[in-house]
A and B are shown apart, each in its own frame.
Chain A
Amino acid sequence: MRQLSRATVALALSVSAAAGLAVSNGLLGCATEANAEATQDAETFTIGSKNLLPPELFDRNLVVTVGEPPADAIEQPIAFTHTVHVKQLGVDCNYCHSNARKGLHAGVPATSVCMGCHALVDATGRPELEKLKGYWERGEVIPWNKVHDLPDYVYFSHKRHVNGGLQCQECHGEVQEMTVNERVANLKMGWCLDCHAQHESIDENYGTKAELRRAELKDCWTCHK
Chain B
Amino acid sequence: MEGINRRDFLRAGAVASTAAAAACTYDYKVPAEKVLPYVANPENVQPGLASYYAGLCNGCATACGLVARNNDGRVVHVEGNPDHPSGPGLCARGHFDFVAAYGPDRVDGPMLGNDKLSWDDATAKLLEAWNGAVAAGKGVAWLGQYRTGSVAALLGALAGAGLRRVHFEPVGVESLLAASRRAFGLDELPVYELAEARTIVSFGMDFLGTAFGSMAMTKGWARAKDPAQGKFVARTVAITPRVGQSESQADHWIAARPGSEAKVALAIAKLAGEAKGYQGPAAALLGGIDVAAAASASDVSEDKLREVAGWLAGAEPSVVLPGGNANAGADATALAVATLLCNEVLGNVGRTVVFRGSRPGQVNSYADAKALLDDCKAGKIGLLLVDGLDPAHGLPADADAAGALAAVDRVVQFANSGNDSTNDKTLILPSGSGLEQWTDASTEPGLHVLGQPAMVPLKDSRGMGEVLLGLAKAVAPAAPTGAAADPATVVAVPIHASAANFAEYIRMRWAAEVWPTVPGMPEAGAWWREVQAKGVVHVPGGNVAAAWVAAELPAAGEAPSGGGKHTLVVYPSPLLHDGRWANVPWAQELPDPISTFFWGTWAEIHPDTAAEMGLGEKDLVEVSTGLGSIKVGWFGSKGVRKDVVAIIAGNGKKTGRYAKGRGANAVSLLAGATDSASGAMAWLSTQANLRRAGGDSGVHPLCGNLDQAGRHLANNVSVKDALDKLEGEAASIVPVHHVPIDERVVENGPVDMFPEPQHPTYRFALNFDLNACNGCGACVVACALENNTPFIGPDQMRRGRTMTWIRMDRFWEGEGENQDVRYLPAVCQQCSHAPCEGVCPVLATYHNLDGLNAMIYNRCVGTRYCANNCPYAARRFNYHTWEWPESYHLMLNPDLTAREMGVMEKCTFCVHRLHHAKDSWRDIKEAVPDSALQKITACAAACPSSAIVFGNWKDADGAVRKKGESPRSYTLLGELNTKPGVRYAARVSYHQPIFGGHGAGHGGGHGGGDHGEAPAEHGADHGSPGKEAGHGAAEGGH
- Partner-B contacts on A (CB < 8 A): 1-14, 16-17, 19-20, 23, 28-29, 31-32, 45-50, 52, 66-68, 74, 99, 102-105, 107-113, 135-136, 139-146, 149, 151-153, 155, 157, 159-160, 163, 212, 215-216, 219-221, 224-225
Closest B residue to A9 by CB, please name it: B861
A-B contact pairs, 29 of them (CB 8 A): A4-B858, A6-B28, A8-B860, A12-B842, A13-B18, A16-B14, A17-B19, A17-B23, A17-B26, A20-B12, A20-B19, A23-B12, A28-B3, A28-B4, A49-B847, A52-B843, A102-B49, A103-B46, A104-B47, A144-B37, A145-B35, A146-B35, A149-B32, A151-B30, A155-B912, A160-B919, A220-B854, A221-B915, A225-B895
Q: Which of B505-564 contact A (CB under 8 A)?
A: none
Q: Which of B580-588, B688-696, B900-908 contacts A (4 or more CB under 8 A)?
A: B900-908
- Among A28, A103, A152, A160, which residue has its beta carbon within 8 angstroms of that of B48? A103
A149-B30 contact given A5-B901, A48-B846, CB 8 Å threshold: yes
In the complex, how many angstroms separate the beta carbon of B210 from the nearest chain A beta carbon? 36
A163-B923 contact given A112-B40, A136-B39, CB 8 Å threshold: yes
Instruction: Judge whether B48 and A99 touch: CB under 8 Å.
Output: yes
Instruction: Judge whether A16 and B41 touch: CB under 8 Å.
Output: no
What CA separation (Å) do A100 and B897 show in the bound complex?
A: 22
Q: Does B859 contact A (CB under 8 A)?
A: yes
* Pairs A-B, 9 closest by C-beta atoms: A20-B15, A48-B846, A110-B41, A112-B40, A110-B38, A104-B48, A10-B28, A17-B22, A13-B22
A221-B8 contact given A14-B26, A144-B37, A146-B35, CB 8 Å threshold: no
What CA separation (Å) do A52 and B854 show in the bound complex?
A: 12
- Among A7, A47, A103, which residue has its beta carbon within 8 angstroms of that of B28? A7
In the complex, how many angstroms separate the beta carbon of A14 from the nearest chain B beta carbon? 5
What CA separation (Å) do A102 and B922 show in the bound complex?
A: 13
What CA separation (Å) do A67 and B922 show in the bound complex?
A: 35
What CA separation (Å) do A16 and B23 show in the bound complex?
A: 10
Q: Which of B216-224, B756-764, B985-993 contacts A (4 or more CB under 8 A)?
A: B756-764
Determine the chain A residues whose CB is within 8 A of the CB of B351 once the complex forms: none
What CA separation (Å) do A160 and B915 show in the bound complex?
A: 11
Q: 1/0 contact trace for B27-68 toward A, CB 8 Å?
A: 110111111111111000011110000000000000000000
A111-B48 contact given A4-B857, A216-B849, A220-B859, CB 8 Å threshold: no
Instruction: Judge whether B32 and A146 touch: CB under 8 Å.
Output: yes
Determine the chain B residues whose CB is within 8 A of the CB of A20 once the complex forms: 11-12, 15-16, 19, 22
- Among A16, A48, A66, A112, which residue has its beta carbon within 8 angstroms of that of B757? A48
What CA separation (Å) do A139 and B39 show in the bound complex?
A: 6
Determine the chain B residues whose CB is within 8 A of the CB of A219 once the complex forms: 848-849, 854
Determine the chain A residues whose CB is within 8 A of the CB of B440 once the complex forms: none
Determine the chain B residues whose CB is within 8 A of the CB of A2 once the complex forms: 881, 900
Q: A9-B861, A10-B28, A111-B40 are in contact. List 13 more A-B contacts (CB 8 A).
A: A3-B28, A4-B899, A5-B902, A12-B861, A16-B22, A31-B8, A50-B846, A99-B47, A99-B49, A108-B37, A112-B40, A141-B38, A144-B34
Most chain B CB inside 10 Å of its own CB: which residue of A17, A74, A135: A17
Instruction: Judge whether A66 and B26 touch: CB under 8 Å.
Output: yes
Instruction: Judge whether B908 and A49 touch: CB under 8 Å.
Output: no
Determine the chain B residues whose CB is within 8 A of the CB of A67 once the complex forms: 26-27
Closest A residue to B847 by CB, please name it: A48
Determine the chain A residues whose CB is within 8 A of the CB of B33 once the complex forms: 145-146, 149
What CA separation (Å) do A88 and B686 show in the bound complex?
A: 86
Q: Does B896 contact A (CB under 8 A)?
A: yes
Determine the chain B residues whose CB is within 8 A of the CB of A225 once the complex forms: 895-897, 908, 911-912, 915
What CA separation (Å) do A13 and B837 show in the bound complex?
A: 22
Closest A residue to B38 by CB, please name it: A110
Instruction: Judge whether A144 and B35 touch: CB under 8 Å.
Output: yes
Instruction: Judge whether B19 and A16 touch: CB under 8 Å.
Output: yes
What CA separation (Å) do A135 and B40 show in the bound complex?
A: 11
Instruction: Judge whether B15 and A29 touch: CB under 8 Å.
Output: no
A111-B37 contact given A13-B25, A151-B858, A225-B911, CB 8 Å threshold: yes
What CA separation (Å) do A1 and B18 show in the bound complex?
A: 26
Q: 1/0 contact trace for B873-911 toward A, CB 8 Å?
A: 000000001000000000000011111111100001001
Closest A residue to B843 by CB, please name it: A52
Instruction: Judge whether A11 and B28 touch: CB under 8 Å.
Output: yes
Determine the chain A residues whose CB is within 8 A of the CB of B709 once the complex forms: none
Determine the chain A residues whose CB is within 8 A of the CB of B849 once the complex forms: 45, 47, 212, 215-216, 219
Q: 1/0 contact trace for B754-796 toward A, CB 8 Å?
A: 0001101100000000000000000000000000000000000
Determine the chain A residues whose CB is within 8 A of the CB of B47 once the complex forms: 99, 103-105, 107
Instruction: Judge whether A11 and B858 touch: CB under 8 Å.
Output: yes
Instruction: Judge whether A48 and B848 touch: CB under 8 Å.
Output: yes
Determine the chain A residues whose CB is within 8 A of the CB of B27 once the complex forms: 10, 67-68
